[in-house]
Amino acid sequence: MSKAFEVRGEPHHVGPWPAWSWLGQDGMAEKARQLKVAVLYGGTSSEREVCLVSGRAMIEALGRAGTCAPASVTGVEIGADGLWAVGDRRLTPTQAIEALPTDTVFMIGLHGGEGEGGPLQGFLQVAGRAHTGTGVAASALCLDKIRSRQVFAQAGLSIAPGLEIWPHDLAGDLESQLARIADMGPGPWFLKPSLGGSSVAMGHARNATDVLNYLRNVNDLLPGEGILVEQAVQGIEITVGMLSTPQGSATCLPVVEIRPGGDGWFDYQEKYSEGGAQEFCPPKNLSKEAQVRAQAAASLAWTALGLTSYARLDFIVTATGDPVLLEANTLPGFTPRSLLPQAAAEDGLSFECLCVELCLRAWIDHTSHQHVR
């Protein structure tokens, strides 16, 4: 049945709810209006600046969500020193948790580091608090590009030719590492910190000199991390957003095509600057058949990784239509321009309602697990 919410003369949802939406289920919009939400943003990772943008966008969106808006929305900025700002107080995480109502839903607006890698999820779960996003194990697995590649390969998914370089390798002869990379085949190559995100400290190497320069400098940028080196795959870059459904399964959102400018790859500037990459949803240069193949690969990855709630899976689609999986993001960027919200909007749910949707399903998951225990 079609439902519509309208506030201040502006429709926040008109027409049928998407089949995957909890808000479209009987009584759930009313439940959403009772939620108390705390948005966690900022943090200590190398992606702090992006986290600030996502968190502020979430706070504003929840306040604009009309008659599905939560009863209260509290912004909790996690400082670079790890302290949590609750009102005018700067508290330890434990103190902050105790200062907020026990029925608060924590919307995680963090990327990378402690926010996306599992520690924060584990802390909230031990404290008995509801939170958005997937669980501890899947979060840790997806943040680690090297381990997640191993899972992709075991599941039969296509991945780019690649190898691992560890800190002890960098302490030796860098020329030998270059020889290993050359054995994969001709460049260019992408060099990625194993635990990074948002393309922070990512390198694009066209030749041996670029590779050596990156390897010489990376330990200063991210000491102690492994480096994933992947041969560049030629094709169309896309992403597939996924969400769990009220029916207990998962659904793929419409595919988003990414067309970088500049040097032709989706780096930090392309992702976040005003003149960055173009995104098309639906894609302009990808056949329906290729989109379906990419969504099928995303569904397989979702299951193999043990994902829940929501995620975004990034691919390169080759000229033969083969989707090559790059990585999975369990807490992808979250502004109206971000890729997963764009796909949800194409499927019929506004950014405002999507933010409410994720908080609602977090509360439902949390309370259902309590009942099971």
Which position among 41, 214, 272, 310 bears the catalytic label?
A: 272
Q: Are 246 and 252 in contact (CB under 8 A)?
A: no
Give the amino acid at 54.
S
Which position among 48, 129, 312, 361 bears the catalytic label?
A: 312
Which position among 314, 347, 352, 357 bears the catalytic label?
A: 314
Active site residue 72: no
Active site residue 158: no
Which position among 21, 54, 194, 198 bears the catalytic label?
A: 198
Whose structure tokens read 């949590």? 84
CA triplet 310, 10, 61: central angle to 5 degrees? 35
Active site residue 312: yes
State how far the alpha carbon of 93 is from the alpha carbons of 98, 133, 145, in Å.
Answer: 9, 19, 28
Which position among 66, 112, 333, 352 bears the catalytic label?
A: 333
Q: Give SS3 for 349.
A: coil
Active site residue 373: no
Instruction: Please count the other Cβ atoms lying within 10 Å of the Cβ belonging to residue 217.
Output: 12
Instruction: Please count the other Cβ atoms lying within 10 Å of the Cβ belonging to residue 197.
Output: 28
State how far the alpha carbon of 201 is from the alpha carbons of 63, 168, 239, 269, 365, in Å.
Answer: 34, 19, 21, 12, 35
Which position among 114, 116, 327, 347 bears the catalytic label?
A: 327
At 42, list the tokens: 């900022």
Active site residue 357: no
Active site residue 352: no
Where does the chain show beta strands of DSSP type E? 5-7, 10-13, 36-42, 72-78, 84-86, 89-91, 104-109, 130-131, 162-165, 189-193, 203-205, 227-231, 236-244, 250-252, 256-259, 278-280, 310-317, 323-329
Positions annotated as catalytic residues are: 47, 198, 272, 312, 314, 327, 329, 333
